[in-house]
């Protein structure tokens, strides 16, 4: 999974996109609040309900 993340990030950076990476859900939420990204890609190895909980937190962040 790390290799896929590195490859995908490198590809997007080469296309001119700025990439922000978080190591856990809380850091991702903090980054989203601070940076107001246009797009959030989330890779989750946790259970479905945990992933849905994180998505609900992202949905509550004003843009």
Q: Of 48, 38, 44, 53, which Cα lies nearest the Cα of 22?
A: 44
The whole-number pLDDT of residue 1 equals: 67
pLDDT in tens, 2-60: 788 889 899 999 999 999 988 877 888 899 899 998 888 877 665 554 666 777 777 77
Complete DSSP assignment for the chain: -HHHHHHHHHHHHHTT------SSHHHHHHHHHHH--S-------S-HHHHHHHHHHHHTS--
């Amino acid at each position: 999974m790390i290799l896929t993340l590195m490859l995908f990030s490198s590809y997007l950076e080469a296309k001119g996109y700025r990439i922000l990476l978080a190591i856990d859900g809380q850091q991702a939420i903090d980054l989203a609040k601070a940076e107001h990204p246009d797009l959030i890609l989330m890779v989750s190895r946790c259970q479905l309900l945990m992933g849905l909980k994180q998505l609900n937190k992202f949905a509550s962040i004003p843009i």
